[in-house]
Amino acid sequence: MFKVRVYVSYKESVLDPQAEVIEGAMNRLNQGEVSQVKIGKFFDFNVKAETKEEAIKVAEAISDQLLANVNMESYQVELLEEN
């Protein structure tokens, strides 16, 4: 059993108005210039698999089919621990 984390965020080419609003608010705090704010989400789950590679493949398949809109979003799979 492996614990994985999948990070999902908009692709660089996709406009993210929520991130732009947050970036503007951060700059209004007068704490320095902030740029290139990205907003994303992450999913943690366990995968029953024999190897790390198999667990990552399963997580990638789930991400492609369910967690990310691959037309607008990209994802990254991270292996957190082996249970």
* pLDDT of res. 30: 83
For 4, 19, 34, 36, 54, the CA distances from 12, given in Å and listed in that order, are 24, 12, 17, 10, 29
pTM score: 0.86
Residue ranges per domain, the chain? 2-79
Residues of the chain with pLDDT under 50: none
* pLDDT of res. 23: 95
Structure tokens at 47: 């995968």
CATH code: domain 2-79 is 3.30.1280.10
